[in-house]
Amino acid sequence: MLFFDSSYLFRLYSNEAGAAEVKRLAGRTEGLVSAWHARAEIASILLRKRREVGLREEDVNEIQLQVQDDRESGLLTLLPLSDPVMARLESVMAGAPANTYLRAADGLHLACAAEHGFTEVYSNDRHFLAAAPLFGLRGIDVIGAK
């Protein structure tokens, strides 16, 4: 099982730059995992793509159905954001160096991965990858940090 952030998850359902590398990586595992709030982040990405690049409503619906199918089939598991996850997030952020750049949503992914026993997380977001060690995780990027 591989833990993907939302940017990597979205690439599974798109033809964006890096999609081929992410799909190749995903094809080498029995399943994918992310934090529960990835659903909200994917919805946000879809809205942004509609606004910025004119993604068609049919394409949005198709992606949403694919994500739902993958969740129902067990290919994609979204882990809960529990009290222990939140406690880990708060603890790490309280002890992080003052110059740490960590968005709340990324912190939730990292705390969720760590709390559920993952040792590696996959993303192409440089801030996410830089913060991963604070949670005891190794951040891996197969497409090049943005």
Distances (CA, A) of 92 to 32, 38, 107, 109, 135: 25, 21, 9, 13, 7
Query: pLDDT category, 144, cuts 50, 70, 90?
Result: confident
Q: Is residue 145 part of a domain?
A: no
- Tokens representing 25 are 């990586």
The pLDDT assigned to 52 comes to: 92
Asked whether the CA dihedral 59, 122, 81, 78 is positive or negative, the reply is positive
Q: Is residue 146 part of a domain?
A: no
Report the number of distinct structural domains present in the chain.
1
Question: Does residue 146 carry a pLDDT above 60?
Answer: no
The CATH number of whichever domain residue 110 belongs to comes to 3.40.50.1010
Q: Is residue 86 part of a domain?
A: yes
Quote the percentage of the chain above a pLDDT of 70. 99
**Nearest-angstrom CA–CA distance, 12 and 23:** 6
The pLDDT assigned to 54 comes to: 87
- For residue range 4-61, list pLDDT tens digits in order: 999 999 999 998 899 999 999 999 999 999 999 999 999 999 999 999 988 899 999 9
The domain of 15 spans 2-140
